Every structure is written in C-alpha cells, then in structure tokens.
Amino acid sequence: MNTVLILLFSLSLVIPFISILRPRISFSFGILITLILAFASILAMLRFIPMMAVGIGNFNLYFSLANSPFIFIISIVELIVFAISLRYLRDDKILGFFIGLTVASINSVLFSDNIILFLMFWESMTVSGYLTIGYKKESKAYPPFVFIAFGELSTIFLTVGFAAYYFSTGSMTLGAPLHNPYILMVIILGFLFKMGIVPLQMVEWLPIAHGNSPVPGSILFSAAMTTLALYGIVSFVEVSTANIVIGLLLMGFGSFSLLFGSIFALSSENSKMLPAYSTVENSGAMIMLVGLFISWKFYGNMEMEIFTLLGVIVYATAHAWAKSAVFVLSAISHDFSLSFSKGSKLRPFSKLSGAFAVISLMGLAPIGGGIGEWFLLESLFISASSNYLILSVVAILAGALAALGIGITIPTFTKFFNYLSTRKEDDPMGTNINSTISTAGILIISISILSPGFIYMFSYMSSYILGSSAPIIFLSTLKAIPYPFLIYSPSLAGGFFGFMSPVFIIMIMAVSTLVIVPLSLTRKHTRSLPVWNGGIDQEGTFNSFAYANVLRIILRKIYLSREEKKGEKYVERTFDIFWLIIVDIAKIFTILSGKFARAFMNGRINAYIIYIIAAFFTVLILLII
Amino acid sequence: MRIWPVDSMRKGKVTTKFPKKPNETISPWSTLPEKIGDGDVECPTSAIENGQVSMEKCISCGACMTSFKPSLKTDNYRVINNTKGLKRSLKVFIIDSGTCGACNTELHAIANPYYDSSRLGIFLTNTPKQADAIAIMGVYTPKMEGPLLAAINAMARPGIVILFGACALSGGIIGKGLEDIVTPDLIIGGCPPDPFVILEALQKARGGKI
Amino acid sequence: MNVEFPIVTGYFERKDRSYILGEGSSNAVEVDHDFIDKIPLKKPLDGVFGHSSEGDNVFAFNYGPSTGGFMESLDLKIFTYGERILSVEAFPDFKRRDITLKGKSLRDAFFIIERFNGFHSFSYSTLFSRAIESIENISPSPEDTGTRIILLETERIISHIYKAARLCDAASQNIASYWLLSLREKLLRILGEVAGHRYLFGVNRIGGLNRRIDVEKLRKDVESVVQEFRVIMKGLYSARIFIDRLENTCITDAKNTRGPALRAAGRSFDYRTLDPYYGDMDFKPITERDGDSLARFLVFTAEVDASLDIIKNTKSVSMEDVSKDPKSDFPIYSVETPSGDAQLTLKLESGVIADAYLRTPSMLNLDAFCSGIKGNVKTDVPFAFESFGIWISEIGGIQ
C-alpha cells in the first residue's frame, strides 16, 4: 500500500518537469493524474481503500479520511486548471512550469503528514503561486511585494503555530490532539491570512486581478488555495479540543468577511477581481461553518458536529468547482474590464454551464452553492433556536450579516454573467472556453443531480472522522420523495429541522421546461421586436460600472468613492478602504525592510526561482536522509 | 398629519356610471355643432359642407356660433375596424406627434376619479409592447414619424390604432394630419375630445356594450 | 447698439438684424450679432444646450422621446456613470411644429395661437388679442377685461393643481394625486359649463369675449375648489416622505428661468405687477429662496391662493387709459402664463401678420431644468421636471 501512496504523491511532481519539454503533454498528463486522484479519494472516503501512511525519517505522507475529501475537491479544480491551460497557455513553457509546480506543491501539502513537510510545501506553493502571477509583471513593485509580504505573514504564523504545536503535543505528525486554544488560534490565523479574509482580502484579489496574471493561476489561487487553507483549519480543528470562544470568533470573522466580500465584489469592474472578492465572501461562509462546527463540538452534539462538518465540505466543493468555472468564463475575453469584454462565441450548453456556475455562487438552490448555503443557514437557524444563549445570539447576529451579504451576490453575478456571456463581438484574442466550461458545468450540476451520492459519501466520511459509532447519513424520505432523495437537517429535539431535495427541484424544473419550451416553440404568432427605446434606435450601453453605482453611492463611506472632474472629463474613483490602510502599512514596511529586501529579494525573478528550487530540493534531500 | 385613506373615504364617490347611465356633463364645443340657422358661416378649417360638420376637421373654435350650436352628443367618433378579444382589459399607449397638450391631458383625464377608466378595464401604459391600443395625437412632425411607426409595429396584436383629435385627423388649423401615414381602426374627433367621448369610443372599438 | 438689461429673456433675428427681449421692457432692442453670441441663452429648438459630458465610464442614458413618463414627446440624454446625473441634454424638437403665422389673417392666426399650448390656451389667446387690440386701438369692454383676468387666474389655478398632482404622482402619493386630479376635473367641468369649452377654446376673440360668462358662479365654484385644495396642501406640507423627495432636488438660480421657477429662486419678478390689466390690485409676487423643487412647489401652491384673491376682487377693468408704445419696430407684449411670462413681438401689414416672435417661459425653463438637475440622481428627474411646468408644445417654432 505504501507504494501506492508514494506513487499517488509523486505523480503530480512529474507534471512541471514535463511542462519544460512539452506543456501540452504535461497538461493532458495532469488531467489524467487529477482523475486518478479524484477516483482514489472517493474510494478512500467510502473506506474501500484503507488509511495509508508512510514515513521515511521525517518524510511522512498519509492518505486517509481526513485529507481525501479535500484531495477530491482540489483535484477536480486542478483538472479544470489543466483543461483551460490547454487552451489558454497553449505552449507557454515557463508559465506551464509554474502552474505545474503550484499544483505539485498543493498536492504535496495535502499528502503531508508532518508539520515541517507541510510548512515546506506550503511555502513552495506560496512562492510558485506568486511566480505564476508575477513573472510577467509590468507595474511597479509594491503590489506584488505587498502580496508576498502578507503571504509570508501566513507562513510566519504557521511556523510559530506549528512550533508551539510540537512543544504542546510532542508530535511532528498531524492529527495529534491540541488542547491549547491559543496555539490553535495562531494556526487558524495563519490559514485565514491565506484565505484572504477581511481585512486582509488583498491577499486574495491582488494577485488575481494584477496585471497579466493568467487565468489558470487565478483558479489555483481562488479555488484551490482557499480550499487548501480550509483543509488546514479543518484538519487541526477536527482533532483538537473545542473552544467556544474560537467558534464564536470564527463565526464573527466569517460573517464580517462575507458581508464585505460581497459588497466589494458588486462594485468590481474587473472580471477576475469580482470572483476574487466573491472568494473572500465564500471563505467567510466556510469560516462561519467551521465556527459553528467548533461550537457544536464544544457542546458535544455529535449529530450537529457531523452536520456542520458536512456543510463545510459541501460548501467547499460547490464553491471550488463553481469558482473555477467562473474564472474559466473570465478567460473568454482578452480584456478583463467587464464593460469592454468581448470574445469568442459561446455555445448554448457552454452558456448554460456558465449559468450553472454563477447560480451556484449566488447560492440559489438547487445548484451546488445553494445546497451549501442551505447547510450554512440551517446550521445558523438550528444554533439560533438552541438553548445555548451566547451561541444563539451570535448565530442571529452573524446570520443577519451573512444574509445581507448573500443577497448582494445575486446582482453581482447577474452583472458578471451578463457582461461576459452576451453582446459578443468576435475577438481572436479571446480564448475558446467552450469545452472547458461545459466540463465544469457538468461537474457543477452533478453536485445537484448526484446529491444523494455526495451527501452519503461526505456524511459517511464525516461520521467516521469524528468518531461516531455508526455513520449518520442526512438522507431521508418524505411523502412522494423516495429515499435517498431528501436531504434533511437535524432538529435538536430529534427528527427533522428542515429539508431540501435538489433532485426533486431539478426534476420539476426539467419537466416544466420540457412542457413549456415545446409549447412556446409551437406558438404561431411570435414576433421578435427590437428593444423599445422610447421610439428611437438603441444607442450606447449600460456599462457595468453603472450597474453597481447605486451601491457605490449609498456606501460612499465604505468605498471612499469620489467624483472628480479633470478638465471636461468626469472620473469617479473607488477605493477599498482596507486596501488603503494596508498600502500605508506596506509603505512603512517597505521602507523599514528596504535593506533586507535589497539584499535578499532583489526583485529579480531568477533569484526567486533559484530560491524556491534550491529550497525545495534541499529540504527534500535533508528529510529523506 | 393627514391619514390619506381616511380622507379619501370621507371624500366619497365621484365616479360616473357612464356608459351604463348617461354622461353627467360634456364640454359643449368639443362636440359636433348642429345647424340651427341659415346664416352665412365662415369656418377656418372648411369643416362645414352642406350644413354638416366634418368631425375630422372641426377644431371647436365656435366661429360658427351664429348658425350652429353644440350637439352635446357623445358620438364624436367613428369605429372603422371592430376589434375582438380586448373586452376584459385594454391598455392604451399614448404617442404625441405634435399636440398642443390638450389632447394628452384629456386622454390622461379618463384615469382620474371622475371617469376612472380602470373600472372598465382601460389602463394607460408606458410602453407600446404592453399596449392593446395606441392613441396617436397631434399634427404630423417629421421627427416623430419614426417613433410613431415603430410603436405601431411594436404593439401587441390584436390592437387598435386610434387617431385622436382634429389635429391628427386633418391637421386642424396648425399643420398636416396623420391620416396619410397611419391606417386607423378608430378615429375620435374634437379639439380636444371630451373624456366621455373617449370612453364611449374605446368601449365601442373593443366591442363592449355601450 | 449694445444695451444693458437686468436680464435678457430672449432674442430673435429678422432680416439680418438681431433683437433682444429684456425683462420688463416693452421694446425689443436691436443689437449687434456678436452681442447675441455672448448671451448665455440657448436655442432649445436646435437641441443644443451644451450639457453633454464625457469621462471614464460615462454614457448617455436615453429617456424618451415617447414614454409614459412625460406628458409630451421629449427626449432626454442623461449623462451618467450610473444613478448620479452628470448632466442632461434635452431634445424637445421631436414634436417640433413649425407654425407659420406670417401672411395669416388675424382670425386664423388667433386660432393657431389659441391651439399653440392648449393647456395655457387662454393665456396665449389673451396675449395675442391684447397685442392686436393694442396695435389696432381696440378697447374691449371693462366687463370683458375683468372676465379675462378671472379666466386667466382660473387657468393658472388649474395648471398649478395639475402640476401638484403630477408631483404627487411621481412621489407615489397616489391619494393626494387623484384627489388633486379630481379637483382639476371639477374646475374643467365648471369651465365647460360656464364658458362652453373645458380648455377655453373659442372663448376669447380679438376685442373681447365670444360668450357670456356667469362670473358669479365661476367665482363661487373656484372658491370651493381652492378650499379643498388647501386641505390637501395642509397634508402634503407635513408629509415628510413627499417633502424629502422635493427638497434639494434640481436647484436652479434666478438666471434664465421664468415664472414660479424664477420666484422660487428668490427673484421677486411677476409680470402681473407690471401688467396694466392688474393695475390697481395690491398684488405681491410670492417668493422662496432655495430654488429647489420644494421651493417651486411652495410658490405655485401659494399662488393658487393669490389667484383666488384676484378672482374674488376683480369686477371690471377699464383699459381706456392704457398707453401704447408704437415707437419700436418690435414692441413687446407680455402676459404672465401659469409657467411664467410669455413675450410676443408682432408686426401687422394690411390686416395680415407680417412678422411675429413668441418667447415662451418653457424655452428658458427647460434649460434651467437641464442645468439644475446636475448632481441629482436619475429618480429625481420627474420631481424636478414636473415642478417647472414645462410644456414642450410651447417650444415650437413660430415664424
């Protein structure tokens, strides 16, 4: 079995090196590997293959219930990354290498069972991710510098946290129970920085929206790395002693992040910045679920523990896949400004797939994100109705903020989808995304159609990982809906609290569509008319900036938007208030660390490459010996 | 502070029962004049021929008052094509081609509490795409020709095209009429037409009871 | 010749000579062509107001020409980057009626002017007949003159009530709006009964009135309507939600506006104070300071009361002693229409119109609206527009 594990681990390490020779082959190879990994992790979650662990010195790898769901989620994301790279990067060897390296690092983090190994791959992921984005940089140095500084902040917290973890538990491997809440909090913070939670959201949007950053890199940043950070948090929280304060804090952080993320997303004009802010929002939701998980763990309600953990994983799945699809959609246009987007033509099914993705991110049932949203809201409602006063108060407050934020995502993604998928003039610079987005669309809709399967698999896994004697599967039957097509949430008094059936909703929608569409097509008296524009021809278009300007005017204090008149021209400028503060801090930081930076990170890209590769191999060799 | 609903209750009902009951009032000179004497009359729009007044041309100026008096009848309209299928609801879109403003306000007046056209299922709408009837008023103006034809084209079918008021019918004294570029289903005369006439004409054109 | 006027209210060109109209002056004054170029007045009919804007993300949001929102055909290009209005360019020329008065007989010209703006028909027919009466030295009987004033003021009350109703409608104050509309309908019915036409077409004539009007009945009925109007206004003045929408909306200065809009911006000018018709009356213009929609609303609703006072006090006015001023080529005749003072210059040759120019208040107020609306948001447009009482039919070309 150890051979299988080492094989699974090392497969992805090969990808970057093939890329140096032939990028396209490496991408195709990557697709194959991600499929293998996804399949293996399904088997692992259902306990068809036993838990595997291997250790050579400190080089510990494992493949078990704890990391298999995340390997499953992330390998699908990587599949989409490689699929779009085939079209988007074509024969770009350097970029292909960096993408491969980032993927390899991410997978290595997932397989690591040792804190040093974990940290090392984490760092290699940060730097290679940065190189993916920064190597074509054109603008002045400080935005990427701010990014790397805050990215490193995550590493610093993790290093400190892991060191404390070692001294507290005496174990170098992951999965030792941690009883000290402060250490746990430091570790969680380290991961939160990587997730780009408010007020450090620029860790998320800056690298993605910046300059020539490639779309596959954005997907890795937004979907894969966020999920990876979530994995980090979950894997530590699962085994540690629960602390209600941490639980409530995370709920607070999460709701705040959710609200601000969605507010900033709506006003974004950049087709990559908007989904990046949306990731900030979704990270918030996932953090809230983790907070709920910790709280229920503290109160010792096993059923709710499993339910909230299940929620985390369902949410993470829906988010990661839909977010990947949304970034694929942004690749359609050469120009990343929403108002000026144009690109190649979308096939009807591709358009539908894009719609699945954005509806999922809007959190509307029955698409995946809607199921995740349902888990979040049900957990909040159940918590609000519990006997634990502090939990119910925080659940209500955090839930109110979350509901506000969730509502805003609907116009956000309506705008995003509308400006990217309609009004297309053919632009040879745009990427043909039809096959990739169709694949992603099928994956996203499969979450709903195969929801009983997904819920069964994740419930099963969650039950065993939390040490439940028998698996609690949140599937049931009700009236006309046969088992297992009903998902339910547990009531604290026993029985159902609420339920939903994505399959049933989809069936009703599909049947009614099948009835309505033929009927409407057979109608004889149909005319198509131009838009009524007061009687004159349509001229000028409602641009995407205007779409969000209501909010911009209402929330002037948050956006710090200003109307300026330069000569005869009007300019409205919007700033992210947190970003302004961070930039100020960064400037001070830049001055202070000027000498250090000049000596160590001298701005030449080669130095970074040498640094990462050297570090990578040194540590590998050291560990193996 | 006013409590508006209470006030409106206190105000009572002013709405007419027309067309079930006869009209309470009418703007006298907006109706077609009838001959009462044989005096020589000089009509500014030559609307009088053989003692008959043409509803298309009469601009309600009252210059013929020496030999004519207002008929006070609500028959100042003519249905050219009967339209079926609009008995329950009729949405009217107004197009102003070149009016003095009186036709516009008179047509809007049918929605005021005295006439309350909504009790008959007649509503004013803001887009021709929702309209079952288009009321075109005013003289011909070159720049409105495009919007006017576009609106008729955009109107739902079946629909009623209405030429409204003397200006649209003949140009009145101001300019050129619209009879050459629009084929109406209903014409309503008067300068401007009285709301009662409008209500009766709309009812008749949609095949309703009078 | 260049002249100094307190305020220039219009200009026109005849036979390569340029004339300007000034506020309160009784003559059109000939000026140099360059002087005309310096006057900040716009030519509304050419659709040129010079209000377009450009900038990052700025686009022109089209509203009109044919919508349910405006009573008449008007096209607005709202320059914006979403919600906030940077500027508005208005195109009133869609329904441009090129009306030719030149060469028309006095009677035909009279009927045309009567149907120039149907809503303020009596004001314009009075203006025209007074101009002819002045030129031809005809004196209408004192009773007819008095009745004209009463009808002018009744028309003003109707117009103001209608404006208030439109404002309420825009602010979704539906009960107030319908109530006001029913008051207007009541007045129109009274006019139909006493004068034979709801819009007073055919009532006026050169040299007097065509029909005998029961002034006493009219007076009584108008008074009862105005009393009811006061009840509604008491409610509206205290309706926070209504006032909030009007306050600070479309603030205009006193430059180049007319009528209630001018007085709402703080200038105490009302042509009725200069008008010999209103000679003996102790009449003071109503003013407000802020120049926003609320100020205009307060001015024209207060004018309803003032008009009722005039109606109650007017008996008959003798016009024997009114001086005539035939010195200039183009003497100016004015009347205060409900939207502001209209100015007419007229020249007759052997019983037909040789030359005419009519400057209507809407010509200036539309530009004032376009300038004032800057910085408001799009939903403010109806609150701003309806408060001016602009009639697009007035912005027609009179030859």
Residues A284-331: tens digit of each pLDDT: 999 999 999 999 999 999 999 999 999 999 999 999 999 999 999 988
- The alpha carbon of residue B80 is apart from the nearest alpha carbon of chain C, in Å, by 26
Nearest to B30 by CA among B134, B165, B173, B135: B165
B143 contacts chain A (CB < 8 A): no
Q: How far is CA C80 from the centre of its chain?
A: 29
* Among chain A residues, CA nearest to C64: A534
Nearest to A78 by CA among A48, A56, A100, A109: A100
Domain count, chain B: 1
Alpha-carbon span A186 to C288, nearest angstrom: 65
* pLDDT in the model for residue C1: 45
CA dist A339 to A136, A351, A422, A545, C78, Å? 24, 19, 11, 7, 19
Percent of chain A with pLDDT over 70: 84
* pLDDT in the model for residue C167: 93
Beta bridge partners of B70: B33
Contact at 8 Å (CB) between A117 and A58? yes
Q: What is the DSSP letter of B181?
A: T
Instruction: Tell me if C50 is assigned to some domain.
Output: no
CA dist A482 to A445, A454, A486, A498, Å? 21, 17, 7, 16
| Inter-chain CB proximity A546 and C82 less than 8 Å | yes
Instruction: Tell me if B13 is assigned to some domain.
Output: no
Residues A326-356: tens digit of each pLDDT: 999 988 887 788 877 777 778 889 999 999 9
Residue A554 φ/ψ, nearest 5 degrees: -65, -45
Beta strands in A146-245 (DSSP E): none
Q: Domain holding B181: CATH number?
A: 3.40.50.12280
Q: How far is CA B50 from the centre of its chain?
A: 25
A535 contacts chain B (CB < 8 A): yes
Alpha-carbon span C270 to C285, nearest angstrom: 6
* Among chain A residues, CA nearest to B154: A529
* pLDDT in the model for residue A596: 54
A536 contacts chain B (CB < 8 A): yes
Nearest to A4 by CA among A139, A111, A142: A111
Alpha-carbon span A382 to A234, nearest angstrom: 21
Q: What is the DSSP letter of C29?
A: E
Contact at 8 Å (CB) between A273 and A290? no
Residue by residue, what is the 3-state secondary structure of A49-85?
Answer: CCCEEEEECCEEEEECCCCHHHHHHHHHHHHHHHHHH
- The alpha carbon of residue B172 is apart from the nearest alpha carbon of chain C, in Å, by 9
* Among chain B residues, CA nearest to C188: B27
Beta strands in A513-568 (DSSP E): 562-566
Contact at 8 Å (CB) between C117 and B101? yes
Alpha-carbon span C359 to C357, nearest angstrom: 7
- The alpha carbon of residue B145 is apart from the nearest alpha carbon of chain C, in Å, by 9
| Inter-chain CB proximity C81 and A543 less than 8 Å | yes
- List chain A residues with CB under 8 Å of C55: 565-566, 569-571
B109 contacts chain C (CB < 8 A): yes
Evaluate if residue C15 carries a pLDDT over 70.
Answer: yes
Instruction: Tell me if B131 is assigned to some domain.
Output: yes
* pLDDT in the model for residue A38: 95
| Inter-chain CB proximity A535 and B147 less than 8 Å | yes
Instruction: Tell me if C37 is assigned to some domain.
Output: no
Instruction: Tell me if C131 is assigned to some domain.
Output: yes
**A 499-528 residues with CB below 8 A of B?**
525
| Inter-chain CB proximity B147 and A525 less than 8 Å | no
Complex ipTM tops 0.90:
yes
Beta bridge partners of A173: A114
Residue by residue, what is the 3-state secondary structure of B86-121?
Answer: CCCCEEEEEEEEECCCHHHHHHHHCCCCCCCHHHHC
| Inter-chain CB proximity A534 and C64 less than 8 Å | yes
Bridge-based pairing of strands B90-98 and C397-398 is: unpaired
Count of CB pairs separated by less than 8 Å, A with B = 20
* pLDDT in the model for residue A142: 52
Evaluate if residue C239 carries a pLDDT over 70.
Answer: yes
Instruction: Tell me if B56 is assigned to some domain.
Output: no
| Inter-chain CB proximity C56 and A553 less than 8 Å | no
Between A536-540, B19-23, C213-217, the lowest mean confidence (pLDDT) is in A536-540
* pLDDT in the model for residue A59: 82
* pLDDT in the model for residue B132: 93
Contact at 8 Å (CB) between C358 and C398? yes
Show Cβ contacts of residue A419 under 8 Å, excluding neighbours closer than 6 positions: A271, A338, A339, A341, A544
| DSSP-derived secondary structure for C145-200 | HHHHHHHHHHHHHHHHHHHHHHHHHHTT-HHHHHHHHHHHHHHHHHHHHHHS-TT-
| Inter-chain CB proximity B148 and A536 less than 8 Å | no
- List chain C residues with CB under 8 Å of A536: 62, 65, 75
| DSSP-derived secondary structure for C231-297 | HHHHHHHT-HHHHHHHTTSS---STT--HHHHHHTT----HHHH-GGGTTS-------SS-SHHHHH
Query: Which residue has 């197009």 as its token pair?
Result: B95
Contact at 8 Å (CB) between A71 and A41? yes
Burial A256-292 (b: 16+ CB within 10 A, else e): bbbbbbbbbbbbbbbbbbbbbbbbbbbbbbbbbbbbb
Residue of C70, C72, C181 to mutate when probing chain B, most B C-beta within 10 A = C72
A591 contacts chain B (CB < 8 A): no
Enter the pTM of the model.
Answer: 0.82
Q: What is the DSSP letter of A340?
A: G
CA dist A552 to A259, A325, A544, A558, Å? 15, 27, 12, 9
Under the banding of pLDDT at 50, 70 and 90, the label for residue A386 is: very high
| Inter-chain CB proximity A549 and C83 less than 8 Å | yes
Alpha-carbon span A165 to A186, nearest angstrom: 10
Contact at 8 Å (CB) between A402 and A285? yes
| Two tokens, residue A312 | 């985390």
Q: Cβ of A386: how many Cβ atoms within 10 Å?
A: 17
Give me the mean pLDDT over the A10-36 stretch.
91
- List chain A residues with CB under 8 Å of B148: 535
* pLDDT in the model for residue A575: 62
Per 3-state DSSP, chain A is made up of helix, strand and coil in percentages (nearest 5) of: 70, 5, 25
| Inter-chain CB proximity B154 and A534 less than 8 Å | no
* Of the partner residues A525, A529, A536, the one whose CB lies closest to the CB of residue B147: A536
The residue range of the domain holding B145 is: 77-205
* Of the partner residues B27, B59, B126, the one whose CB lies closest to the CB of residue C115: B59
B120 contacts chain C (CB < 8 A): no
Domain count, chain C: 1
B153 contacts chain A (CB < 8 A): yes
| Two tokens, residue A70 | 């995340």
Query: Can you give the C-alpha Rg of chain A in angstroms?
Result: 24
| Inter-chain CB proximity A549 and C86 less than 8 Å | no
* Of the partner residues B95, B128, B148, the one whose CB lies closest to the CB of residue A532: B128
Which chains have 3 or more CB–CB distances shorter than 8 Å to chain C? A, B
Give me the mean pLDDT over the A224-250 stretch.
93
Q: Domain holding C176: CATH number?
A: 1.10.645.10
- The alpha carbon of residue B156 is apart from the nearest alpha carbon of chain A, in Å, by 10
Between A63-67, C44-48, C59-63, the lowest mean confidence (pLDDT) is in C44-48
The residue range of the domain holding C317 is: 98-398
Under the banding of pLDDT at 50, 70 and 90, the label for residue A205 is: low
- List chain B residues with CB under 8 Å of A529: 129, 153-154
